[in-house]
Structure 1
């Protein structure tokens, strides 16, 4: 595998999924991507929102041995956005941590540990710093302000 310092989130994720599916075909249907990002025209965005699409949902979900693991993929310089902070805290409130990985190697290693029922405590350093249920209200307010600023910017662009 190549150094992924300059790879996009999509490339990091694709490399990891390809490797995992080739090495562990039994993960098919248990490790999957949530297609939440990308540009959509306003009509499609409205339809998808009505169908339950939620901004900020983690990129990958791994369901294994009766547990759910939530994985956020970021580049080496990628930042967690306000919607993601809300989701990370909301999921922590329900008992689930979000793991942030920046390379396909990290993702592959984590998945291998989970599949082999090995202790994943040494991955605790990858848990999102926003997986804090007690801060949910702060992240919700940050997201509200973020959305308002985007709305204001769109309004200015229409004038």
Structure 2
């Protein structure tokens, strides 16, 4: 007999892995905050840096009460959890899990530090992309997976 929620475990596992990986990388950065404040070159075009962002993507909503962003993120996580429970696709389950895990990682930062720890700094010349963290990578990756998931699933069904 097949379980009624066949990919729930997959999604919960993706949530746990993305949350733990995000928190582990942030803990390393926070432990080395003093050394990373000015930025440490890793390879051309990429620095590790320690920043606190009290806004959301690209610093939008900076200065908003931290708790309002926590409430917003938790509300979105609840909605995504409902989608996770309802999905019949392994790809969607991983995507929802990655988004939820990343969002919860940033929620924990907001509760602990009243802002999110960012540390990935990519640049070309003097032009820097806004710094971000692994939670952001999981959220964006999960959203991307939701977009390409149907295409991938269709390809897997039609390929011999």
Q: TM-score, normalised by structure 1?
A: 0.29
The structure with higher relative contact order (CA 8 Å, sep 6+) is 2
Give the structure with the larger helix fraction: 2
